[in-house]
Amino acid sequence: MSVALELLNRDRILAELPDVACNRLSRLEVYPTLDSTNAYLLEGARAGWPSGAVCLAERQTAGRGRQGRNWVTPFGAGLAFSLLWRFEVSPEALGGLSLVTGIAVARALQNLGVLEVGLKWPNDIWWHERKLGGILLESGGTARMFYVVAGIGLNVALPDPDAALIDQPWVDLREILGAVPVDRNRLAAALIGDLIGAFCRFQESGFAGFTEEWVRFDRVRGRRVHLQLPNTTVAGIARGVDATGALLLETEDGRLSSYLGGEIGLRVGS
């Protein structure tokens, strides 16, 4: 039996969003198709839109992933949205923000019944070592008035032909939650609410207040990993993160080095 697709609906998302998050929202837009929700909000940021702008798209024709990859977004099969936030701090202080975004997404999913959700540094959303979602942070502005666009993509119910294009182990919410149908409007509201809450907290106290939660979701700690840096690969044992969100890697000679997000790739296993 096929179940009718419930489209994303601005009023339903707003109705489910907690007041504290609503108060921080400057706009909420839902589109049937966009090239990329990140590209759309970056354009808005350059035009001077204030913090708290959110946009969602049922389908992206040029969805962007990390490290120059595409992000597959077939119509109604996932959740693709972005949040624009402005920070009155220097860009260096934003190191942990990408991890904080992952924590907020993982927390929201756990509250919705995705109990075994985890994070692969810096911010892949994992379920049993299969990718459930991804996060792409893009930024701009000046040193003291910086903006970040945080883009979140989640697999909800991927059709087979689109899933065949994904070049790594993946999973969608339909498989995880089985018979329980996914209410994407409720999911969107929960994610946006937790994300706004986390960004407000980060603005006040940085990454320090999130380190315990990171430990709870971190799925690479203690594992052998390979870090793909721009010109080389480094192998070692992942030893968690430091106070800025940088990955701590213990290499064979016993030394501990830290690596901060950006375009670093990470492969788990030997």
* Residues catalogued as catalytic: 66, 131, 267
CA 10 vs. chain centroid, Å, equals: 21
- Residue number with CB closer to ligand BTN (64 or 107): 64
Minimum Å gap between C-beta 169 and ligand BTN is 13
- What is the residue type of 120? K
Minimum Å gap between C-beta 264 and ligand BTN is 13
The residue from 13, 36, 51, 236 that contacts ligand BTN (CB under 6 A) is 36
- Look at residue 75 and give its three-state secondary structure: coil
Query: CA 85 to CA 41: how far, in whole Å?
Result: 10
Residues 53-82 that bind ligand BTN (CB under 6 A): 60, 63-66, 69, 71, 80-82
Binding segment (CB under 6 A) for ligand BTN, from list 31-39, 42-50, 100-108, 214-222: 31-39
- Two structure tokens written together for 187: 């999911």
Query: CA 39 to CA 146: how far, in whole Å?
Result: 16
For ligand BTN (CB under 6 A), the number of binding residues is: 20
Say if CB 27 and CB 49 are below 8 A apart.
Answer: yes
- Tokens 């993946």 -> residue: 170
Minimum Å gap between C-beta 123 and ligand BTN is 8
Q: What is the dihedral of CA 113, 199, 196, 221, to 10 degrees?
A: -10
Query: CA 239 to CA 77: how far, in whole Å?
Result: 36
The residue from 99, 103, 108, 135 that contacts ligand BTN (CB under 6 A) is 135
- Residue number with CB closer to ligand BTN (101 or 206): 101
- Residue number with CB closer to ligand BTN (19 or 167): 167
C-alpha distances (whole Å) from 221 to each of 28, 129, 245 are: 37, 13, 13
The residue from 136, 173, 198, 238 that contacts ligand BTN (CB under 6 A) is 136
- Residue number with CB closer to ligand BTN (178 or 230): 230
- Tokens 């070592």 -> residue: 129
For ligand BTN, which residue has the nearest CB?
134
- Residue number with CB closer to ligand BTN (107 or 131): 131
Query: CA 149 to CA 171: how far, in whole Å?
Result: 25
Query: CA 111 to CA 89: how far, in whole Å?
Result: 31
Query: CA 83 to CA 99: how far, in whole Å?
Result: 15
Residues 174-203 that bind ligand BTN (CB under 6 A): none
Minimum Å gap between C-beta 220 and ligand BTN is 15
The residue from 24, 37, 94, 173 that contacts ligand BTN (CB under 6 A) is 37
C-alpha distances (whole Å) from 142 to each of 51, 88, 106, 119, 182 are: 15, 10, 30, 30, 40
Residue 219 in contact with ligand BTN, rule: CB under 6 A: no
Minimum Å gap between C-beta 184 and ligand BTN is 14
Applying CB under 6 A, the residues found at the interface with ligand BTN are: 36-38, 60, 63-66, 69, 71, 80-82, 124, 134-136, 151-153
